[in-house]
Structure formats: structure tokens, C-alpha cells
């Protein structure tokens, strides 16, 4: 039975991931600050044969974050799918924001994503299978004026590109999910009634992400409008991704020839045979 760990799982997109993954039969580890919300989502996701573990943690806190890292890296309870969904936003222009919430944006949107992924990948690579979903944002491409939050989401896109390019041949896949505006009830006064190209259903976003992950794609942008924009903006990135993979393979073969013995073909993972 595969296990998925979802951060920011107490509501919104994180709750939608929990619901879908439980329906697919995965055991769950749900992480968030909101204990009440976690318990509610755990209860809603509960199904016969599916284990749901709740781990209350503030990912901006180094001690709490370390506890989540230990859970991810536990070889006796492996995590097969990591969903880096937790996010924090100051909601004000950078120059008017206090220093503490700005640091929280970095701690949750950058440091936690990096450290939890770092905890997950060694075990996944050793097992020859695993998946990481980094929930970025359309704002990572076209940022709102004065938003430091958008800069952290742009980092997530670059981080996914960089790490995913090094995973060729390992059996581990990584994807950046780039949602636009989500109908989560968080902004009830803004969410329109009926259909709108600007507003997306969280469950549909999760379905699109898991479908693209299964297809081996590295970026998922649900929604016709958002998808059209990102496809245009992603053209240079796709070219650079391809070149990075080719360069990585070439470095691997060069090391193999120079050292005179057979190595794994994955770049950066040398092992004599």
C-alpha cells in the first residue's frame, strides 16, 4: 500500500488531494497547523483499508519541520508521494510588510519545500519509485505587483526544474502544479457564481495534476486560460529542460569512460558494478 504525505492538508487544495488520494487507496499522512481542520479532513477521507495519520506541524517552525522530515525519511514507514502544498502569503505589498511574516513566507514556501523534498528523495531513489508534487502558482509566472509571495512560487518552479532534471533513470518523478484562482471558499466575496475561466475547482485541479504526473509531465497548469498562457511562457523552459537532461546524461557517460568501469547511467549517482 503506497503512502502519500500532504502538507497544508486542513483545507482547500490540500483537502482535495487527501480526498482523491484516499479514493485511490493510498494511505495518508496529513500535515498542517490547524489540528481541528486536519481531524475534519482525516474523518472525511477515511475509508476501509486506508490508514490516515494526522501530524500537526507549523512548517515555519524549525522543530516542527524537522519532525515532518523525520516522518518522511523513516525507512520503516516509507512515503511514496510527497505533496508540497502548504503555502503562506503576507497579502500586502513587500515594502509595507513586517519582517516576521516575510520570513514566514520564505520558511513555508521555500525552506519547507526544499527540506521535505530533500528528506524524501534518498529513500524514493533507493526504492526506485516515488513522486513529488510541488504546488506553485500562476503568480510564479505573472506576479502581482509588489508580491514577495509570487517570488517564492517562481522559486518553486525553478527548483522543480532543477531537481527533476537530475532524476532521470531513478524511477522518481517530480512535477510543478501551477493553479490559478481556486474556488475554496477562502475569498467568498470574490468567487463568482457559475462557470468562469478564471476560477478552478480544487478537485478538478488535483485530477489534472495526477493525470499529468502519470504521463511524465513536469508542469501541470489546469484551466484553458491559464494553460494557454503558461504553454507560451514555458517554451524556453522546455528547451532548457531538454538541454539539461542531455547535458546530465553526457556528463554521466564522460565519467564512465574516464574512470574505466561501468557506472549507473544516472548522472550524479556513481556506483561501480
pLDDT digits (tens, 9 = 90+) for 52-75: 999 999 999 999 999 999 999 999
Q: Is the pLDDT of residue 267 over 70?
A: no
Check residue 191 and report its DSSP letter.
S
In whole angstroms, what is the distance from residue 272 CA to residue 30 CA?
39
Q: Minimal CA–CA distance to 252: which of 234, 266, 233, 273? A: 266
Q: Minimal CA–CA distance to 60: which of 113, 116, 14, 112? A: 112
* C-alpha Rg value of the chain to the nearest Å: 19
Domain definitions of the chain by residue range: 3-237
pLDDT digits (tens, 9 = 90+) for 75-97: 999 999 999 999 998 888 888 99
- Strand-pair partners of 256: none
Average pLDDT for residues 266-270, to the nearest whole number?
A: 41
Residue 179 pLDDT: 82
Stated length of the chain: 273
Given this structure, which CATH class describes domain 3-237?
alpha beta
Residue 219 pLDDT: 86
Q: Is the pLDDT of residue 119 over 90?
A: yes
In whole angstroms, what is the distance from residue 39 CA to residue 54 CA?
7
In whole angstroms, what is the distance from residue 169 CA to residue 182 CA?
34
Name which residue leads in pLDDT, 232 or 11. 11
Phi (first) and psi of residue 4, to 5 degrees: -115, 135
Total Cβ atoms within 10 A of residue 49: 8
pLDDT digits (tens, 9 = 90+) for 120-131: 999 999 999 999
Residue 230 pLDDT: 67
Instruction: Band the pLDDT of 272: cuts 50, 70, 90.
Output: very low
Q: Is the pLDDT of residue 265 over 90?
A: no
In whole angstroms, what is the distance from residue 105 CA to residue 198 CA?
25
Q: Is the pLDDT of residue 21 over 80?
A: yes
pLDDT digits (tens, 9 = 90+) for 159-203: 998 899 899 899 999 999 988 677 665 555 554 544 555 678 888
Residue 235 pLDDT: 72
Average pLDDT for residues 113-124, to the nearest whole number?
A: 98
Distances (CA, A) of 158 to 21, 25, 66, 260, 267: 26, 31, 24, 35, 19
Q: Minimal CA–CA distance to 237: which of 181, 184, 176, 194? A: 176
Q: Is the pLDDT of residue 16 over 90?
A: yes
With residues binned 3-state (H G I as helix, E B as strand, rest as coil), the percentages for the chain, rounded to 5, are: 50, 15, 35
Residue 70 pLDDT: 98
Name which residue leads in pLDDT, 154 or 241. 154
In whole angstroms, what is the distance from residue 8 CA to residue 111 CA?
15
Residue 196 pLDDT: 55
Q: Is the pLDDT of residue 262 over 50?
A: no
Q: Is the pLDDT of residue 148 over 80?
A: yes
In whole angstroms, what is the distance from residue 20 CA to residue 253 CA?
41
Residue 256 pLDDT: 43
Total Cβ atoms within 10 A of residue 250: 11
Average pLDDT for residues 237-259, to the nearest whole number?
A: 58
Q: Minimal CA–CA distance to 124: which of 161, 74, 84? A: 74
In whole angstroms, what is the distance from residue 259 CA to residue 269 CA?
14
pTM above 0.75, yes or no: yes
* 249: exposed, middle or buried (Cβ count in 10 Å: 0-12, 13-18, 19+): middle
Averaged confidence pLDDT in the chain: 83
Instruction: Band the pLDDT of 132: cuts 50, 70, 90.
Output: very high
Check residue 198 and report its DSSP letter.
T
| Grid cell digits, residue 6 | 500532504
Asked if 209 and 6 count as a contact pair (C-beta separation under 8 A), the reply is: no
Amino acid at each position: 500500500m503506497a503512502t502519500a504525505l500532504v502538507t497544508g492538508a486542513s483545507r482547500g487544495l490540500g483537502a482535495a488531494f487527501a480526498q482523491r488520494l484516499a479514493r485511490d487507496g493510498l494511505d495518508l499522512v496529513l500535515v498542517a497547523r490547524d489540528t481541528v481542520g486536519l481531524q475534519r479532513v482525516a474523518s472525511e477521507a477515511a475509508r476501509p483499508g486506508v490508514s490516515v495519520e494526522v501530524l500537526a506541524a507549523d512548517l515555519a517552525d524549525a522543530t516542527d519541520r524537522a519532525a515532518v522530515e523525520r516522518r518522511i525519511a523513516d525507512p520503516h514507514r516509507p512515503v511514496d508521494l510527497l505533496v508540497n502544498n502548504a503555502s503562506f502569503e503576507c497579502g500586502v505589498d513587500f515594502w509595507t510588510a513586517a519582517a516576521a511574516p516575510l520570513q514566514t513566507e520564505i520558511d513555508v514556501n521555500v525552506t519547507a519545500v526544499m527540506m521535505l523534498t530533500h528528506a524524501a528523495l534518498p529513500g524514493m531513489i533507493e526504492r526506485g519509485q516515488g513522486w513529488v508534487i510541488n504546488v506553485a502558482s500562476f503568480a510564479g509566472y505573472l506576479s502581482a505587483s509588489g508580491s514577495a509571495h509570487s517570488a517564492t512560487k517562481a522559486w518553486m518552479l525553478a527548483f522543480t526544474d532543477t531537481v527533476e532534471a537530475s532524476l532521470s533513470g531513478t524511477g522518481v518523478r517530480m512535477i510543478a502544479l501551477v493553479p490559478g484562482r481556486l474556488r475554496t471558499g477562502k475569498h467568498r466575496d470574490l468567487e463568482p457564481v457559475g462557470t468562469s475561466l478564471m476560477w478552478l475547482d480544487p478537485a478538478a485541479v488535483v485530477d489534472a495534476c495526477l493525470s499529468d504526473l502519470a504521463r511524465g509531465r513536469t508542469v501541470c497548469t489546469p484551466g484553458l486560460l491559464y494553460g494557454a498562457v503558461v504553454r507560451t511562457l514555458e517554451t524556453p523552459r522546455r528547451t532548457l529542460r531538454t538541454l539539461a537532461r542531455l547535458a546530465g546524461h553526457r556528463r554521466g557517460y564522460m565519467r564512465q569512460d574516464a574512470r574505466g568501469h561501468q557506472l549507473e547511467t544516472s548522472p550524479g549517482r556513481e556506483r561501480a558494478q
